[in-house]
């Protein structure tokens, strides 16, 4: 047994060489688990993502830390549940736990984001797209470990023509480059916008520059075309059988293909871990504007599977075996620990980190038992552990609330969808489990 452990340790040590690997994290906005062909979408309009999965690892049991944009993103970058990092609200089960333009707060200064720590290992860092962790300058990415930024502190969903609250700004580093709908047009009638193409080109330029400089790089690519109001460039408009939402997905898939192809052409694919995922489930309440959550119940803003299970793929040629599937219960918070593990940087020891490194899973396919917590605001809504999931409070997309316990047994059917089968569980027993849950 000790020989096996030593062999694994030596292999992991070899993975993290003298020069730490590059990292590209692609985080989509409101994209559902069922939007990708590899996850069962019948339209099969994501050839580049499907190819990425064929060459890498599919993680079908991967979860966000919250079913809304801002707290999910804060959890990923801090490795901590929103209840710990302070990025949550308490009104009516936190139904509005995000940071619109008129909110003055943002990610607390006391929180440590992993890009800040990557600077210790000499990483060049850039965020492209949606930040959503604070509108005011003191909360911007350049204050939290990023050398460069092209994008917005918020999303593009308005205000559109409000003279008292101007349209949301777009930044290039510390300076405002313009505003949505004026300097960076989005046609509200047709959905036409060139923003995704700009985000793709920004990624290409940053990768070229970083490879030329010989430094390891971290790229956080977070376009928002699949968030209502949807948009796509003229080339992709009306090309999908799924309407404007499908057009946006097709263009994002194209962008993924451009980035992966570039990494290969520059000879750094084997030195680069690329992660693809989404911040929360598809917005099924948006009808024609929302994505597909596959077989799962509900979507964005809910703690049912459709709201928090994310379409996740890991790609790292030569390190992550192609065509593999891991049923590890994963969390967006795990990328914090994974990034630090790859860079050989110790985690902060003055706070609880809720994520865990996925490097053993990515390299060896190791599966570790761990719980997944489903929070909204400061309330624990559900817990999943192994084959079981308990809902202590439920809220559906119809905004019906049920203050009773639901207890589910999880059945896995590979590539044919998942099902949750409700089984009997006395409310006192489930409430006792809830009380004894230690987070």
CATH code for the domain in which residue 124 is found: 3.40.720.10
Number of domain units in the chain: 1
Place of tokens 């070899």: 14
Q: Residue 415 domain-assigned?
A: no
Task: Compute the C-alpha angle 69/67/359, nearest 5°.
Answer: 85
Given a cut of 80, is residue 196 above it in pLDDT? yes
User: In percent, how much of the chain has pLDDT > 70?
Assistant: 80
How many residues are present in the chain?
439
Helix, strand or coil for residue 194? coil
**Running DSSP on this structure, what letter comes out for residue 22?**
E
Q: Residue 407 domain-assigned?
A: no
Give the residue-averaged pLDDT of 150-179: 82
Go through 138-154 and write b for each residue having 16 or more CB atoms within 10 A of its CB, e for each that does not.
Answer: ebbbebbbbbbbbbbbb
Calpha distance 132→224 (Å, rounded)? 11
Q: Residue 79 domain-assigned?
A: yes
Calpha distance 306→399 (Å, rounded)? 15
Calpha distance 388→412 (Å, rounded)? 12
What mean pLDDT is reported for the chain?
Answer: 86
Q: Residue 381 domain-assigned?
A: no
HSE-up of residue 8 (Cα within 13 Å, Cβ side): 13
Phi, psi (degrees; rounded to nearest 5) at 192: -75, 130
Q: Spot the catalytic one: 132, 144, 227, 391.
A: 132
Q: Residue 122 domain-assigned?
A: yes
**Is 423 or 182 the better-scoring residue by pLDDT?**
182
User: Whole domain around residue 95: which residue ranges?
Assistant: 22-370
> Which pLDDT does position 5 carry in this prediction?
47
Categorize the per-residue pLDDT at 427 as very low, low, confident or very high, splitting at 50, 70 and 90.
very low
Rg (C-alpha) for the chain, rounded Å, is: 21
> Which pLDDT does position 389 carry in this prediction?
83
Q: Residue 317 domain-assigned?
A: yes
Given a cut of 90, is residue 264 above it in pLDDT? yes
Q: Residue 296 domain-assigned?
A: yes
- Does the active-site annotation cover 132? yes
Q: Spot the catalytic one: 69, 155, 298, 406.
A: 69
Model confidence pLDDT, tens digit, residues 24-46: 999 999 999 999 999 999 999 99
- Does the active-site annotation cover 69? yes
**Running DSSP on this structure, what letter comes out for residue 352?**
-
Q: Residue 216 domain-assigned?
A: yes
Calpha distance 335→339 (Å, rounded)? 6
Residue 131 and residue 72 in contact, taking contact as beta carbons nearer than 8 Å: no
**Is 123 or 153 the better-scoring residue by pLDDT?**
123
Nearest CA-CA partner of 59 in 294, 325, 370: 325
Given a cut of 70, is residue 17 above it in pLDDT? no
**Is 344 or 415 the better-scoring residue by pLDDT?**
344
Model confidence pLDDT, tens digit, residues 70-106: 999 999 999 999 989 988 765 554 444 444 445 557 8
């Amino acid at each position: 047994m000790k020989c096996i452990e030593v062999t694994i340790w030596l292999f992991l040590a070899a993975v993290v060489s003298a020069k730490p690997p590059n990292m590209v994290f692609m985080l989509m906005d409101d994209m559902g688990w069922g939007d990708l062909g590899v996850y069962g979408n019948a339209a099969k309009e994501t050839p580049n993502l499907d190819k990425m999965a064929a060459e890498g690892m599919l993680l079908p049991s991967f979860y966000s830390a919250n079913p809304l944009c801002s707290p999910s993103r804060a959890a990923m970058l801090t490795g901590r549940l929103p209840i710990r990092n302070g990025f949550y609200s308490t009104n009516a089960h936190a139904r509005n736990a995000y940071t619109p333009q008129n909110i003055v707060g943002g990610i607390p200064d006391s929180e440590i984001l992993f890009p800040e720590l990557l600077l210790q290992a000499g990483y060049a860092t850039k965020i492209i797209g949606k930040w959503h962790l604070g509108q005011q300058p003191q909360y911007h990415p350049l204050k939290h470990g990023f050398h460069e930024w092209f994008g917005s502190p918020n999303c593009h969903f308005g205000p559109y023509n409000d003279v008292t609250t101007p349209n949301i700004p777009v930044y290039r580093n510390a300076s405002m480059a313009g505003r949505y709908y004026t300097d960076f047009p989005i046609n509200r009638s047709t959905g036409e916008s060139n923003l995704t193409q700009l985000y793709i080109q920004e990624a290409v330029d940053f990768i070229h520059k970083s490879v030329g400089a010989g430094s390891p790089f971290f790229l956080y690519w977070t376009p928002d075309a699949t968030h209502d109001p949807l948009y796509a460039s003229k080339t992709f408009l009306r090309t999908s059988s799924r309407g404007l939402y499908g057009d946006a997905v097709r263009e994002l898939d194209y962008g993924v293909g451009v980035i992966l192809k570039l990494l290969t052409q520059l000879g750094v694919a084997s030195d680069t871990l690329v992660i693809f995922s989404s911040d929360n489930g598809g917005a099924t309440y948006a009808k024609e504007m929302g994505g597909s959550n596959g077989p799962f119940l509900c979507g964005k803003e809910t703690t049912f599977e459709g709201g928090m299970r994310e379409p996740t793929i890991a790609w790292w040629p030569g390190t992550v075996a192609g065509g593999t599937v891991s049923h590890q219960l994963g969390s967006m918070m795990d990328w914090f620990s994974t990034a630090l593990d790859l860079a050989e940087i110790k985690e902060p020891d003055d706070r609880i980190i809720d994520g865990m490194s996925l490097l053993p899973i990515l390299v060896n396919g190791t599966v570790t038992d761990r719980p997944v917590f489903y929070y909204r605001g400061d309330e624990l809504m559900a817990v999943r552990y192994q084959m079981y999931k308990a809902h202590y409070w439920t809220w559906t997309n119809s905004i019906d609330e049920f203050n009773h316990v639901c207890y589910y047994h999880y059945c896995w059917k590979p590539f044919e969808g998942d099902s949750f089968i409700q089984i009997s569980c006395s409310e006192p027993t489930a409430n006792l489990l809830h009380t004894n849950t230690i987070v």
